[in-house]
Structure 1
Amino acid sequence: MAQEVAEIKDGMQIIWDQPIAMDDGVVLRADVFCPIGEGSYPVIMTYGPYGKGLHFEDGYKTAWDRMCAEDPDAVSNTSNKYANWEVVDPEKWVPDGYVVIRVDSRGAGRSPGYLCHNNDREQQDYYQCIEWAGSQAWSNGKVGLNGISYYGANQWRAAGTQPPHLAAICVWEGWHDNYRDGNRHGGILCTFRKHWQDMQVKTVQHGVGDRGRRSRVTGELVCGPETLSDDELLANRENMHEEMLAREMLTDYYLERSAKPDRIKVPVLSAGNWGGAGLHARGNFEGFLAAASEQKWLEVHGGSHWAPFYTDRGVFIQKQFFDHFLKGHENGWDERPRVQLLVRHPGERFVERYENEWPLARTSWEKLHLADLSELRPTKSAVEKQLSFDAMGDGLTFLTEPTESDTEITGPIGARLAISSSTVDADLFLVVRVFAPDMKEVTFQGALDPHTPIAQGWLRASHRKLDPKKSLPYRPWHTHDEKQPLEPDQIYQLDIEIWPTCIVIPKGYRLALSVRGKDYVYPGGSGGRLSNMKNEFTGCGPFLHDDENDRPPEVFGGTTTIHFGEGRENYVLLPYIPAAS
């Protein structure tokens, strides 16, 4: 294995390929960016599988181009020479007195080992990396974790191992619950991980060697000096999709890879994205609520999955947080309200507002009932009626009357439906939508898809069992520990979680709920694609549920019926926020 190399460059003292030995003998490799000269500094660390030597633009060309065009401040005041996917730019942090460390996770980039994401071994590795960094001469003994997505989600788990040198975490768009937040929505398998592993992870697996890219800065191979055969690479990694396909119910496999929130005691900044349906948004809200830390804050923004992290606003928020907890600066962070929202308006307009809690205490929870003639209204329908749709089709859409004034909806959403199926199961896809007076749908630039609807929720009917202790009217909690097949044509009352959202609906616009048998499709045409994603974006980005092994047509391809009348409830519970007086 190559030895570490130290040099002074671009105003930083850099150690390339710093070895960090694990307790089982595997040596991980890290790049360490330090201020020049003697001193001890707080550490910002990331640990993940995307290759510390792979330049952002080389691995994620279309995302990079979009960020440069749409968010120029994200790539300003830096040479961008060290830009890397979803981690901090050292040129923006080292001059402010931070050590930045990027660790290639086990089996990825320049770190050897078996590539298995999010398991206990990875958590042990992260613990040991944190403790190594906290005990170095250039460290002040305080380590902060920061980063997007994978580099955010694994912070929840790392914090749960309680490393003594860990001082704070900033989870930027990072999932929390391995089962519910991204891999099996409502029990339905999401195929994102299959394509993610093929296009974003296998390409930088340790051992790809000379078939992979070289670092723009060092010229070294991103995936290590050795080149393994395809068979060797295959034997050296877990097939995530197959593992999840084989596990429909919530097993120890998912629990091992989920956060232990009762063990998270360090200060937390959880930064979510309103448009993050499918992978991250739920995790940021649930992680904020569940973490045992007494010092925790929630920030929620819009826009793309990556750019807000690098913008002046994003970096300023992160540095305020870490300056307080890693440097001890009395900058007022501890006195700021616990919730900071960019309230969403049509036209990609956001208005910043501070709140004291989540959900908001002043929320007016109101039910809108589904009715015949495709209406969504405040009063319940007493008419005995049934509405049916193809169980794997576009379903039904229920609309309100035009709003009489600007109306804000901010918070989690719950729904209840009385349904029957012609088969032993049914998958339900719920979509909260907004339509302009001309009936053109209002969508947003989501974390990934440019035509993301207001909110989404999912449930496999056989997974309808609830945990009464954890369930709330606006956030049902399904146990996913017992499959309960349906009796064909028998009516069942289902409670369905719809992920939190925020939208100010202008006067004259309509709110809608679509009940579908398949993923949402934006009616206005293609959203293009990203170079690191397999599928064309059609409204849900890469978060589709299209594996026929998980949704065999003979089980899920029948007819789903919504039943109305006495004793049957069909509604969506919405978080209305009263207008300021």
Structure 2
Amino acid sequence: MTESRIADGMRIDFDVPVEMDDGLVLRADVFRPVEDGQYPVLMTMGPYAKGLAFQEGWKFNWDRLVAAWPEVAEGSTNKYQNWETVDPEKWVPDGYVCLRVDSRGAGRSPGLLDPWSARETQDLYECIEWAAVRPWSNGKVGLSGISYYAMNQWHVAALQPPHLTAMLVQEGASDYYREFARHGGILSGFLNSWYRGLHTTVQHGLGERSARSRVTGEPVAGPETLTEEDLVANRVDVYGEVRARPLVDQHYRDRTADLGKVVTPFLSTANWGGQGLHPRGNIEGFLAAASEQKWLEIHGDTHSSPFYTNYGVAMQKRFFGHFLKGEDTGWDKQPRVALRVRHPGEVFVDRAENEWPLARTRWTRYHLNPNDMSLGTGPASGPSLSYQATGDGLLFRSAALAEQTELTGPVAARLVLSSDTTDADVFCCLVVFDENGQEVTFQGSNDPRTPIGLGWLRASHRKLDAQRTLPHRPYHTHDDPQPLTPGEPVTLDIEIWPTCLVVPAGYRIGLMVRGRDYDNGAEALPGAKYPLRGIGPFTHNDPVDRPAEIFGGTATLHFEPDQESYLLLPVIPE
């Protein structure tokens, strides 16, 4: 049943029915100004339960967010805070309608839970068009949100809903295979922990077993309470699907946005520290989308904070004020690319740019030297080096930098490798060391102690797409496995996700070539849902995907004179 009330300066309608073309009814919460009128709509549709408070469902994240940024909690009762969506108390007073829809099979909406499916994308399309013709709408609909609520923006925009006017895509992947399910062909464990920990805990039908809304008192995943058997039948086995599908197929293509059909004006905002999930998607989305009006912003800090801080909210209001309200917000002067350039100590300096990658980049090869385990600008040859194929691998370090050096852009590595089995997984970690030889880590979006760059590749997935590969961004097809012949070297071109750091003079740059995930051995933080050892939840250790008889042997790097191994870095001149 729909409930309406006036509270906290807003007119709020809970559980408004939104009927889809197949007759299924989704449920939405509408936050709008008390005075009747027609207002632009800011909308999200997703699976995290619109009635579940940020502070309860994600207490660890909320507590850290407001401790670091007290401004987030200021100016609001915070009763309506919801994970990765806007706070309506900070938008409705400015003349916006905030609309939250529980996606099919989640929260208060019944149906089959099937994330990023074509059906779910069609639902989002219909919700946009439904919102556009409500009496309280001015016909202009904007999409805004983090992560899931960003990823499905790419999908629905490719369908070109007539009333979709603008999108703010905050830290959202655009390639389901390469950025979410399988990094370099290696299964990401994040999908399993995410689905079990965040998705099925608010599946529709948990009903009385779910948390209750702190505002309405109703079960956030109700109103009906289903049996466990019915719940299982009403959801797709997301992790099982990708575990069983090592190659790109229609399953992945159906869940990957057709960026060439995205024409909606948008702002794509990425995080330097989001290695393992989002920054690649935001950047690739910016580059590949057909939109004539598109902007890229890249920041640091945690996954949530840049969206909720005064900096983030002010940027969002300039963007949406321009496109949804026709206001003179100064957005017409916004640089096409806005970078918060990272320095050690979590210091960021804002800088306007015109393009990505930066046109003035000096693409610099740092060659791996096996004789002294160094990285240098001259080619090197020498003896081969072996390491345990599921172990910590090898570390190559540059000399101390004579001057401050900025690295901003995509990174790539070329390695010549053999295995004593038919395959090997390679993990490349870009790291820096201070004057005392201590590794320096950085606040990541999902981990407080991350390296500056990560890349992955399954050797049998080394085939490149010749048309889409660039020297600084190898692009693998992941559709034609090429097993190794034991002992026979092959050349691997490995994509390391884009990064940014101004490296001080006296520091050293390092490349770890490992057989398993980066691990700095740090202790887990109290209340965290997973270990925080530099990669957050983005692990790659599934024994089914990495059977010991294939991936547990010995890998060898080769350094013959005609076999270059190097790290390609984006050096930005001062």
User: Do they superpose with TM above 0.5?
Assistant: yes
Identity of aligned residues (%): 57
Given the alignment, which residue of 132, 144, 147 partners 2:142?
144
- Structure 2 partner of 1:168: 166
Does residue 526 (structure 1) correspond to residue 514 (structure 2)? The answer is no
- Structure 2 partner of 1:382: 381
Q: What is the CA–CA distance in structure 2 between the aligned matches of 1:165 and 1:530, rounded to whole Å?
A: 42
- Once the two structures are superposed, the pairs formed by residues 116-135 of structure 1 within 5 Å of their partners are 116-135=114-133
Q: What is the CA–CA distance in structure 2 between the aligned matches of 1:552 and 1:322, rounded to whole Å?
A: 49
Q: What is the CA–CA distance in structure 1 between the aligned matches of 2:163 and 2:527, rounded to whole Å?
A: 38
- Structure 2 partner of 1:253: 251
Q: Deviations over 1:129-160 (max 9, x none)?
A: 00000111111101000000001111000111
Given the alignment, which residue of 493, 497, 502 partners 1:499?
497
User: How far off its partner does 1:527 sit?
Assistant: 4.1
CA contact (8 A) 1:529 1:537 kept: no
User: How far off its partner does 1:330 sit?
Assistant: 2.5
* SS of equivalent to 1:128: helix
Given the alignment, which residue of 526, 544, 568 partners 1:573?
568
Q: List runs of 5+ in structure 1 lacking aligned partners.
A: none
Q: Deviations over 1:257-283 (max 9, x none)?
A: 011101100101000000001111110
- Structure 1 partner of 2:68: 70
CA contact (8 A) 1:450 1:527 kept: no
- Once the two structures are superposed, the pairs formed by residues 320-359 of structure 1 within 5 Å of their partners are 320-359=318-357
Given the alignment, which residue of 213, 224, 227 partners 1:226?
224
- Once the two structures are superposed, the pairs formed by residues 13-412 of structure 1 within 5 Å of their partners are 13-372=11-370, 373-383=372-382, 385-412=383-410
- Structure 2 partner of 1:557: 552
Given the alignment, which residue of 519, 536, 554 partners 1:541?
536
Question: In the alignment, residue 482 of structure 1 is paired with which amino acid?
Answer: D
Q: What is the CA–CA distance in structure 1 between the aligned matches of 2:414 and 2:456, rounded to whole Å?
A: 12
Q: Deviations over 1:530-553 (max 9, x none)?
A: 54x3x3121110000010000001
Question: In the alignment, residue 523 of structure 2 is paired with which amino acid?
Answer: S
TM-score scaled to structure 1, two decimals? 0.98
* SS of equivalent to 1:564: coil
CA contact (8 A) 1:410 1:575 kept: yes
Runs of 4+ in structure 1 deviating by more than 4 angstroms, as ranges, are: none
Q: What is the CA–CA distance in structure 2 between the aligned matches of 1:226 and 1:186, rounded to whole Å?
A: 41
In structure 2, the CA distance between the partners of 1:238 and 1:573, relative to structure 1 (3 Å rule), is same
- Structure 2 partner of 1:485: 483
* SS of equivalent to 2:91: helix
CA contact (8 A) 1:22 1:125 kept: yes
User: How far off its partner does 1:6 sit?
Assistant: 1.4
Q: What is the CA–CA distance in structure 2 between the aligned matches of 1:183 and 1:392, rounded to whole Å?
A: 20
Question: In the alignment, residue 373 of structure 2 is paired with which amino acid?
Answer: S
User: How far off its partner does 1:200 sit?
Assistant: 0.6
User: How far off its partner does 1:67 sit?
Assistant: 0.7
* SS of equivalent to 2:384: strand
Q: Deviations over 1:307-339 (max 9, x none)?
A: 110000000111111111111113221232101
Question: In the alignment, residue 340 of structure 1 is paired with which amino acid?
Answer: A
- Once the two structures are superposed, the pairs formed by residues 436-455 of structure 1 within 5 Å of their partners are 436-455=434-453
Question: In the alignment, residue 381 of structure 2 is paired with which amino acid?
Answer: A
Question: In the alignment, residue 515 of structure 2 is paired with which amino acid?
Answer: G
User: How far off its partner does 1:37 sit?
Assistant: 1.2
Question: In the alignment, residue 376 of structure 1 is paired with which amino acid?
Answer: L
* SS of equivalent to 1:503: strand
* SS of equivalent to 2:21: coil
CA contact (8 A) 1:493 1:569 kept: no
Q: What is the CA–CA distance in structure 2 between the aligned matches of 1:10 and 1:74, rounded to whole Å?
A: 17
Question: In the alignment, residue 247 of structure 2 is paired with which amino acid?
Answer: M
Q: What is the CA–CA distance in structure 2 between the aligned matches of 1:527 and 1:227, rounded to whole Å?
A: 35
User: How far off its partner does 1:499 sit?
Assistant: 0.1
Question: In the alignment, residue 130 of structure 2 is paired with which amino acid?
Answer: W
Question: In the alignment, residue 58 of structure 2 is paired with which amino acid?
Answer: Y
* SS of equivalent to 1:415: strand
User: How far off its partner does 1:564 sit?
Assistant: 0.4
Q: What is the CA–CA distance in structure 2 between the aligned matches of 1:149 and 1:4, rounded to whole Å?
A: 28
User: How far off its partner does 1:562 sit?
Assistant: 0.6
Question: In the alignment, residue 107 of structure 2 is paired with which amino acid?
Answer: G
Q: What is the CA–CA distance in structure 2 between the aligned matches of 1:94 and 1:259, rounded to whole Å?
A: 31
Q: Deviations over 1:415-445 (max 9, x none)?
A: 1011111100000000000001111111111
Q: Deviations over 1:213-257 (max 9, x none)?
A: 110011111011111111111111011111000000001101100
Q: What is the CA–CA distance in structure 1 between the aligned matches of 2:440 and 2:359, rounded to whole Å?
A: 27
Question: In the alignment, residue 559 of structure 1 is paired with which amino acid?
Answer: T
Q: What is the CA–CA distance in structure 2 between the aligned matches of 1:157 and 1:337, rounded to whole Å?
A: 25
Question: In the alignment, residue 230 of structure 1 is paired with which amino acid?
Answer: E
- Structure 1 partner of 2:456: 458
- Structure 1 partner of 2:513: 515
Q: What is the CA–CA distance in structure 2 between the aligned matches of 1:261 and 1:529, rounded to whole Å?
A: 40
Q: What is the CA–CA distance in structure 1 between the aligned matches of 2:171 and 2:71, rounded to whole Å?
A: 20
CA contact (8 A) 1:133 1:143 kept: yes
Question: In the alignment, residue 69 of structure 1 is paired with which amino acid?
Answer: A
Q: What is the CA–CA distance in structure 2 between the aligned matches of 1:332 and 1:222, rounded to whole Å?
A: 40
TM-score scaled to structure 2, two decimals? 0.99
Question: In the alignment, residue 204 of structure 2 is paired with which amino acid?
Answer: H
User: How far off its partner does 1:529 sit?
Assistant: 6.0
Q: What is the CA–CA distance in structure 2 between the aligned matches of 1:530 and 1:322, rounded to whole Å?
A: 35
Q: What is the CA–CA distance in structure 2 between the aligned matches of 1:151 and 1:493, rounded to whole Å?
A: 38
Q: List runs of 5+ in structure 2 lacking aligned partners.
A: none
User: How far off its partner does 1:343 sit?
Assistant: 0.5
